[in-house]
Amino acid sequence: DTGVSQDPRHKITKRGQNVTFRCDPISEHNRLYWYRQTLGQGPEFLTYFQNEAQLEKSRLLSDRFSAERPKGSFSTLEIQRTEQGDSAMYLCASSSPGTTNYGYTFGSGTRLTVV
């Protein structure tokens, strides 16, 4: 168990460019979540996968955002035509379905800066 991995750790991009982030969850976790955290705030839920199915999306996830989890393992989050307001830390988390030891494990995040 190597934890939840996110790549890259940091990304600086020009406004209008597309960016893609990757998350590798804990292998036995079938649930995967994306959150966004802006400076001075707590993380906000973006979207949730159970296996390869995207079951829920927040209203924060505009049409410029798309997430996939093609084989129920790693996931990608793409932002098209980035805007300065997209600058944030993007966090990925995975969880196990059991209720007796319920918990989420977060990755270290990808910090996006749009200039």
Partner 1 sequence: AQSVTQLDSQVPVFEEAPVELRCNYSSSVSVYLFWYVQYPNQGLQLLLKYLSGSTLVESINGFEAEFNKSQTSFHLRKPSVHISDTAEYFCAVTGSSGSARQLTFGSGTQLTVLP
- For partner 1, the binding residues (CB under 8 A) are 4, 6, 31, 33, 35, 40-45, 48, 50, 55-56, 91, 93, 95, 99-100, 102-109, 111
Measured from the CB atom, is 17 or 38 closer to partner 1?
38
Q: How far apart are CA 82 and CA 84, in angstroms?
A: 7
CA distances from 60 to 35, 45, 64, 72, 97 (A): 10, 8, 10, 23, 25
User: Residues near 98 by Cβ (< 8 Å), separated by ≥ 6?
Assistant: none
Measured from the CB atom, is 18 or 41 closer to partner 1?
41
Q: Would you say 26 and 1 are in contact if contact means Cβ atoms under 8 Å apart?
A: yes
Q: Would you say 95 and 110 are in contact if contact means Cβ atoms under 8 Å apart?
A: no
